[in-house]
Chains A and B, each alone.
Chain A
Amino acid sequence: QKEVEQNSGPLSVPEGAIASLNCTYSDRGSQSFFWYRQYSGKSPELIMSIYSNGDKEDGRFTAQLNKASQYVSLLIRDSQPSDSATYLCAVNRSGGFKTIFGAGTRLFVKA
């Protein structure tokens, strides 16, 4: 079992729709969770961080964390073609400073 698992996609949504990206992790003691966006050929850029159960909203983005289910998700409202990228879920494991990245989900937003 991978430490951080994501569906590789591609996930295709029409412009204006809600894109839902999911991630599960194996270390129950994980403390910090991040979503990064990576455009092709570029390095990752931070979208959201979340540390406690529940929802965290920032503009069109909402991160959801459920530690009991070891599940974190990212919702993108009013998806735009410019949102087309690979979205990486990252988890800081307990007891250390190491961040584990998922393989990423490719998102395509069709105009």
Chain B
Amino acid sequence: GAVVSQHPSRVICKSGTSVKIECRSLDFQATTMFWYRQFPKQSLMLMATSNEGSKATYEQGVEKDKFLINHASLTLSTLTVTSAHPEDSSFYICSASLGARVSETQYFGPGTRLLVL
């Protein structure tokens, strides 16, 4: 149980284009989903927290107009990187939790590797 999928697993795009990444909880309803970014040999950095039906909460330094998050249902959240640039190349990972308690475990998707040329 508690399986999270991401699509696509890898994407290469030209600078200036937009890329959409989907995160789905396959066998549970996720009250909260999280989006992380991880640069090589660095730790996970939380970008934003999204709750179904409400606006995402972005971390300091993360541009909400550049990284659009939509949490349309309890099983789907999307991250759109708008006008992507080479510095946006990274490993993007989503996670989902079953509930809203602080102790809730996060289950991670397999990640999406983005390369912007």
Contacts and interface: CB of A to CB of B under 8 A. Distances in A.
Interface of A: 31-32, 34, 36, 41-46, 49, 51, 88, 92, 94, 96-104
A104 B111 contact: no
A109 B27 CA distance: 34
For the residues of A in contact with B, the DSSP-based class is: loop
B83 to A, nearest CB: 26
A103 B104 CA distance: 21
Contacts of B109: 43
A42 B43 contact: no
A34 B32 CA distance: 18
13 contacts: A34-B105, A43-B108, A44-B44, A45-B108, A46-B107, A88-B43, A92-B103, A94-B102, A97-B102, A98-B49, A99-B34, A102-B43, A103-B43
A43 B111 contact: yes
A36 B43 CA distance: 12
Contact of B46 (A31, A42, A51, A99): A99
Interface string B89-113: 0000100000010111111111101
Contacts, number: 49
A62 B108 CA distance: 22
Nearest to A4: B43
Contact of A46 (B93, B105, B113): B105
Interface in B39-60: 42-44, 46, 49
A32 B102 contact: yes
B44 A101 contact: yes
Interface string B43-83: 11010010000000000000000000000000000000000
